[in-house]
Amino acid sequence: MYNCKHIEGVSVTAVADQSKKLLSKAEGFGVKKLYTDYHDLLKYPDSLDAVIISLPNFLHRESVEVALEAGLNVFVEKPLAPTVEECEKIVKCVEKSGRKLMVGHSMRFLDAVERMKDQVADGHIGSLETITAEEILNGPFSHGAVPSPIPEWWFNPETTGGGVLLDLGYHMIDLFRFFAGDADVISSCLDHKMNLPMEDAAILLLRSKSSNTKGIINVGWYQQSIFPSFNFRFIAHGNAGFISTDQFTPKNMYVHAIKEGTKNLFRKATGRKIRALSYTYYYEQYIKEMGLFFECINKDLEPPVTALDGLRTVEVISKAYLMSSP
Amino acid sequence: MNGKVGNMSVQEMKKDTVGLTKVTDDNLSTHVARSFDLINFKIDRKVESIIIKPNLCYYWDSFTGYTTDPRLVASIIDVLREKYGLDKVNIKIAEADASAMRTSHAFKMLGYERLAEEKHVTLTNLSAERTTTKKVSIMGKEISYEVPESLLSADLFVNVPKMKIMSATILTCALKNIFGCIATPRKLAYHPILEEAIVGINTILKPHLTIVDGMIALSHFPVKMNLLVSGLSPFSVDWTVAKIMGYNPNRIRFLRLARQERLGDPDEMQIIGENLTDFKNKFPHVNAFRLKWQNKLQLKLLRTYSKIVDDVIPPFLET
């Protein structure tokens, strides 16, 4: 909702949420139509072009299908759905509806990743041989980023559909696919460091059938990260060199924020459009992906991340779970 | 306790004695027993119920410096049973829900469920217990609390806090851990008057014994201190901990308030056992002004910037 504010031609006209606190925030944001049940919001699809679905994992399939059936374009946060079966149903539903669906594979739009992708495509590291991708953070246990206290659905594997592999691992597997073309699991190792019913640490060995690129994915929820540290790195190793997100990520986030904030002040003063959220570095990806979604609707283009991308990623995760089960 | 502690005989010891014990090996029970001896802890009344209150403020385990190590609580249980003959007494480990934490998850995730099974003790969510409303006035501010009745009636109430920095109060330890006993989960409601609220609840709830988990303390990052701080008075324990963390206790507002409310008197306290300076040198000091104002200042600047430029502030940074 906040991000939409900076996308030209987009206005948020209706919001549905069970939380009265969040609805009152939406009201303060100028949204007139407020609902506690998203089904009520979808009763008047004529006044809408698209919906953004940011619901718990177990509600993705149902809500996406209802929105598509109402004739709306859909942006859904990752994962597309927790299981392969649900994802397949969504893929079919998208095809049948003729509407656009984009999944929030936001890390593809991180500045460092975009620049790496360009350089790999331009042959700067030679042929892509291996990828290491790691993201070890606090996951749902991050104060502020997740509603407080953490909603109960996060503690139940029935409602999350999985642990860190479906949460952070999903992004890393998608990035592997983005660079290598496709992904299959060779080996999977899951761990429970925090006495949770779902895995909170995972290491996967991946292989791309099309490019023969191999990859190591290392993800965890077990690290208590403190802003501005962000324990993510993605390294592409080629036969002519390597490239890493660390090379493009600002060394000092405070200096970066001041620099980008000052640039925006100048842009504003000279009547130009600001580059929203650039001072946060990591959050800018959310505006970029959302902007692309609406651009695809306006120009009738295929979204850069489709339901099929979501399905393929969940297929890898599902296989990894099967390989790790006793 | 036999004859002498450090250089001082038992008879010479002042009422508010704080003991510093260095944990030198894995035999934690020995060090816990030593820390009890240092402060001449004795049980001179019939004990039929024991409540131990660790600090389980969130889901990060003791290695992060956030929460009390269950191994310490286990050792306290062992010492109470073996040294003080309380092996038949019902022991409860108690914690209350907090704004961001639910006790049921914390007990499981932090290893307390396993501990309860191994030691045959009970886990209690203070937010789900019978409470009584208590009102106090601190510095002219009327403060109301929902206080768990079990804490008011416990024959032995053991406070086992963690030693940490905290932006709102500079440090959090013994007195703040008692604030964590308030049954109301949404303790954020007290935050506008947090220091008064900490002092107020400590005028109502009086633990009989405090033993601080300073094995891993929290500065800007966790640091292995291998320290236990024991005392009968939470005020004196906090006064000592403030010194270890490199702060002048007189400049910590909640300690000043606590002193005014007669929760303790630094002139009547003594620190015995290990040398305080050794631990002080080990703790990475964080400037109090920076600790208290850095985040507030950042957010203020960010809000001003976003107002001028009309940029977005992610909700994550707003909290």
Question: Per residue in A199-218, pLDDT tens?
Answer: 999 999 999 999 999 999 99
Domain closes at, from A105, A125, A157: A105
- Inside any domain, residue A100: yes
CB contact under 8 A, B314 and A5: no
List domains and CATH numbers for chain B: 13-318 (3.40.50.11440)
Contacts of B316 in chain A (CB under 8 A): 142, 144-145
Contacts of B104 in chain A (CB under 8 A): none
Q: Is A29 helix (H, G, I), strand (E, B) or coil?
A: coil
Range of the domain at A113: 107-250+307-324
By the CB < 8 Å criterion, does B189 face chain A?
no
By the CB < 8 Å criterion, does A273 face chain B?
no
Q: Which residues of B24-140 form beta strands (DSSP E)?
A: 49-54, 90-95, 122-125, 131-138
**What are the residue ranges in chain B where pLDDT is below 50?**
1-12
**Two tokens at A202?**
């995972």
Smallest Cα–Cα separation from A275: which of A228, A10, A265?
Answer: A265
Q: Do residue A311 and residue A188 come from a single domain?
A: yes
Q: Do residue A20 and residue A160 come from a single domain?
A: no
Closest CA in chain B for residue A154: B105
CB contact under 8 A, A148 and B319: yes
CB contact under 8 A, A150 and B109: no
User: What is the C-alpha separation between B198 and B176, in angstroms, rounded?
Assistant: 6
- Inside any domain, residue A87: yes
- Inside any domain, residue A300: no
Cα maximum dimension of chain A: 63
Domain closes at, from A90, A105, A120: A105
Contacts of A6 in chain B (CB under 8 A): 311-312
Q: Residue A32 is part of a domain; what is its CATH number?
A: 3.40.50.720
Q: Do residue A101 and residue A127 come from a single domain?
A: no
Give burial (CB, 10 Å; 0-12/13-18/19+) of B7.
Answer: exposed
Q: Residue A126 is part of a domain; what is its CATH number?
A: 3.30.360.10
Which residue is associated with the tokens 């929290």? B218
Q: Do residue A217 and residue A119 come from a single domain?
A: yes
Closest CA in chain A for residue B61: A194
User: What is the C-alpha separation between B162 and B176, in angstroms, rounded?
Assistant: 10
Domain closes at, from A49, A70, A105: A105
Residue B13: predicted pLDDT: 52
By the CB < 8 Å criterion, does B168 face chain A?
no
Q: Do residue A9 and residue A72 come from a single domain?
A: yes
From the list B111, B309, B317, the residue facing A265 with the nearest CB is: B309
Predicted TM-score (pTM) above 0.90: yes
By the CB < 8 Å criterion, does A209 face chain B?
no
β-bridge pairing B16-22 and B8-9: unpaired
- Concatenated DSSP letters of B164-189: EEETTTEEESHHHHHHTT-S-S-GGG
Closest CA in chain B for residue A266: B309
Q: B263 to chain A nearest CA, in Å?
A: 33
Contacts of A145 in chain B (CB under 8 A): 316
From the list A144, A195, A267, the residue facing B316 with the nearest CB is: A144
Give burial (CB, 10 Å; 0-12/13-18/19+) of A104.
Answer: buried
Residue B296: predicted pLDDT: 87
Contacts of B286 in chain A (CB under 8 A): none
Backbone angles phi, psi at B16, to 5 degrees: -90, 80
Mean pLDDT in each 10-residue stretch from start to end of chain A (326 residues)?
Answer: 87 94 90 94 88 97 97 97 98 97 98 98 97 95 76 94 98 98 97 96 98 98 81 97 96 92 96 93 94 96 98 98 86
Residue B1: predicted pLDDT: 36
- Inside any domain, residue A255: no
Residue B49: predicted pLDDT: 96
Contacts of B105 in chain A (CB under 8 A): 150, 155
User: What is the C-alpha separation between B50 and B154, in angstroms, rounded?
Assistant: 6
From the list A141, A150, A274, the residue facing B309 with the nearest CB is: A274
Contacts of A3 in chain B (CB under 8 A): 312
Residue to substitute from A224, A230, A266, A283, interface B, most B β-carbons within 10 A? A224
Q: Do residue A140 and residue A211 come from a single domain?
A: yes
Smallest Cα–Cα separation from A52: which of A310, A312, A309, A293?
Answer: A293
Q: Do residue A10 and residue A87 come from a single domain?
A: yes
Q: Do residue A174 and residue A319 come from a single domain?
A: yes
**Two tokens at A107?**
């890390």
Q: Do residue A312 and residue A177 come from a single domain?
A: yes
Query: Number of folded domains in chain A?
Result: 2
Which residue is associated with the tokens 């642990």? A163
Show which of residues 76-115 on chain B sit within 8 Å of chain A, judged by CB atoms.
97-102, 105, 108-111, 113
Q: B39 to chain A nearest CA, in Å?
A: 35
